[in-house]
Amino acid sequence: VKTDLVPLVHSILDRFDMNKTELIGIERKIPDEKIDVWIDKDKITQVIDNIMSNAIKYSPEGGKITFQLIRERKRIKISIKDQGLGIAREKVEKIFERFYRVDKARSRELGGTGLGLAISKEIIEGHHGHIWASSKEGQGTTIYFTLPLMNFKRGGRR
Ligand code: ATP
Ligand code: MG
């Protein structure tokens, strides 16, 4: 359904601010305007939940998470940046594969199934968006995804 993305992401991030126990700061770079997108709210919430929980889960020393929402000409771009462990260059693309986990032993301790990002990719591509990652081992990870803006929805229906 037609959804204003700005209050939706604020409410998701408010929930993370409430529940976080560690000393993790979440910085928001979100424009103060209405940004309508045509989305399944629950599914996009699930995507942001997973990327945010990963950022927290894989940032052992705490650190800062930066959530940025940018409006481009035909799409919005969200990036979620952490200062955690990072991922080796040759493994970055694999994190979107089903059941893939970078460090099996460590990931097992942290819990999870290795499905979060595979499901996120399916959801984003189902919305005609893209999802990708950039990371440097030891310096943190940024996950990006895009969603088409309302007026540019495929098929031209409003
Ligand atoms: P689940 O999401 O199913 O609970 P998970 O978090 O292990 O389990 P994904 O969210 O799909 O699974 O992530 C896959 C793997 O990618 C993780 O196990 C981890 O190794 C790596 N990864 C994901 N996000 C980050 C991040 N922000 N920093 C470092 N590694 C990450
Ligand atoms: Mg996950």
pLDDT at 158: 47
Query: Taking the model in full, what pTM does it have?
Result: 0.93
pLDDT at 155: 53
Contact between residue 90 and residue 152 where contact means Cβ atoms under 8 Å apart: no
- CA torsion through residues 47, 85, 28, 94, sign: negative
Full pLDDT tens readout for the chain, 158 residues = 999 999 999 999 999 999 876 678 999 999 999 999 999 999 999 999 999 999 998 887 668 999 999 999 999 999 999 999 899 999 999 999 999 998 776 666 677 789 999 999 999 999 999 999 999 998 999 999 999 998 755 555 54
d(CA 91, CA 95): 7
DSSP per-residue string spanning 99-124: T--SSHHHHHHH---S-HHHHHHHHH
Contact between residue 59 and residue 65 where contact means Cβ atoms under 8 Å apart: yes
Q: Pocket residues for ligand 1 (CB within 6 Å)?
A: 50, 54-55, 58, 82, 84-85, 87, 95, 100-103, 107, 112-118, 141
84 sits in the region (left: phi over 0; alpha: psi -120 to 50; else beta) called: beta
**Ligand 1 centroid, distance to 149 Cα (angstroms):** 28
State which H helix or E strand residue 93 sits in: none
Q: Residue 95 has what DSSP assignment? A: G
**Ligand 1 pocket test target in 16, 82, 117 with most atoms within 8 Å of CB:** 117
User: Tokens 């481009």 sit at which residue?
Assistant: 72
Cβ partners under 8 Å of residue 52, min gap 6: 12, 13, 16, 65, 67, 80
State which H helix or E strand residue 11 sits in: helix 5-19
Question: What ipTM was estimated for this complex?
Answer: 0.98
Contact between residue 106 and residue 77 where contact means Cβ atoms under 8 Å apart: no
Contact between residue 31 and residue 62 where contact means Cβ atoms under 8 Å apart: no
